[in-house]
Amino acid sequence: MSYSHDVGERLRRVRIERGLSLQEVERTSGGRWKAAVIGSYERGDRNISATRLLELAEFYEVSPSQVLPGDAPDRARGSEAMTIDLVALDRFGSRYAAIRRYLETIQVQRGDFNRRVLSIRGEDLRALAVIQETTPSELVDELQRNGILGGDQDAIDLAGDSR
């Protein structure tokens, strides 16, 4: 099953758990979320951007991890963190521009403006994977290959990989 289908299934499950039909989502949101668009996201017929996915999670009043695919280990939901080398990330320019913007929002929220490294949690990793249209495991592998992700084997396990 594709990543878009996995996201869609989670979106549908959350909507149904909220007791909402597609039409009720459109009506309740004041037309912000069109029934046809939500339906196409849920079927996996249409890709949803990371920003829209996070906005929809907020509308449904759930954490982003509830709409992101994959079952992360319990500790990925905890406080264990991976370290992103921001200097190394910046060397790749536009390739990781969307990730950089997301990480900047984390820095603003935390008031953490250390320009060299940033710790992220498993939930953040899953959001970054959506941004890059990949899986958390594949993103961890890519970031490690490019010298962007610091940490040890525990950091790799946060991505849900059981190597």
| Structural domains in the chain plus CATH codes | 3-66 (1.10.260.40), 74-158 (1.10.10.1930)
| Phi, psi of 149, rounded to the nearest 5 degrees | -100, 120
| pLDDT of 64 over the 50 cut | yes
Please state the rounded mean pLDDT for residues 39-51.
89
| Residue range 100-140, pLDDT digits in tens | 988 888 888 777 776 788 888 878 888 888 888 888 888 98
Beta strands in 13-161 (DSSP E): 82-85, 117-120, 149-150
As a whole number of angstroms, the distance between CA 162 and CA 158 comes to 9
56 burial class (0-12, 13-18, 19+ CB within 10 angstroms)?
Answer: buried
Cβ atoms of 111 and 153 within 8 Å: the answer is no
Tokens read off for 72: 């992360």
- pTM for this one? 0.49
Please state the rounded mean pLDDT for residues 155-163.
37
pLDDT reported for residue 1: 55
Percentage of the chain with pLDDT > 70?
A: 83
As a whole number of angstroms, the distance between CA 119 and CA 125 comes to 10
Percentage of the chain with pLDDT > 90?
A: 25
